[in-house]
Amino acid sequence: MSDTVALNLYEILGILRQSCADYEAVTFAEIKQGYHSALLAHHPDKQLQREQGHGAGPDEENMSFTIVDDNSGITIPAIKTAYRILSNAERRKDYNSQLRIGGNGTVLTTPRAASDQIDLDDMNCRVEIGPDGVSETCTWTRSCRCGESEGYILNEQDLEKNGLASNSITVQCIGCSLWIEVLYEVMEEE
């Protein structure tokens, strides 16, 4: 799962938009359809049928869902969490606010009740080479007790958005409702 990308809750349900503001116009019917499609696309039994070459079945051939590979990192608990939040008007409103200020919807800079406090150095760092072949970016991940091996995901852009005034950032697991506070030190560039 080292090639996974942080997805917002809409993306977990297969609902893709150009900007965070565009998610505000998503209808409940789209969320419900996305939920059902995501469950079908990521269900372990359906994955096994595809691997064995049995196909999706006669009724499923006409459905509009994308078959994804096994390395997508999307889990059934993540799909259920996305639907639980997005199908509730109040939770969805709060989430959309987080999405606007936090980028991908999984990172917040405002205080939240964190289940744990860890140091950034205690997270796994995955260095990725930029398209220019020279620049490097780092994505930090940590497993969650819910079973997500990369449940907490944080990148350099998240830290930059958080600003220099704070030495911590609160991150939600992509697979459950747990939050952690990540402590870090801002280093001055020479």
Distance between CA atoms of residues 158 and 166, nearest Å: 12
- Residue 139 and residue 76 in one domain: no
Cα 164 from Cα 93, distance rounded (Å): 28
Domain check: are 82 and 16 in the same one?
Answer: yes
Q: How many CB atoms lie within 10 A of CB 120?
A: 18
**pLDDT tens column, 33-72:** 999 999 888 877 766 665 556 544 434 443 333 333 445 6
Per-residue model confidence as pLDDT tens digits over 107-151: 443 445 677 899 999 999 988 887 788 878 888 999 988 888 888
With a threshold of 0.75, does the pTM exceed it?
Answer: no
Cβ-in-10-Å burial (0-12, 13-18, 19+) of 182 comes to buried
Domain edge (last residue) among 105, 127, 151: 105
In a domain, 27, yes or no: yes
Distance CA 92, CA 171 (A): 18
Q: How many CA atoms lie within 13 A of 187 on its CB side?
A: 5
Q: What is the CATH classification number for the domain harbouring 129?
A: 3.10.660
Does residue 146 sit in the same domain as residue 176? yes
Give me the phi and psi of 41, to 5 degrees please: -70, -30
Same domain, 42 and 87: yes
| Structural domain count of the chain | 2
Note whether residue 188 is domain-resident: no
- Domain housing 168: 116-183
Per residue in 71-105, pLDDT (tens digit) is: 566 778 888 888 988 998 888 887 887 776 554 44
**Type and span of the H or E element at 157:** helix 156-162
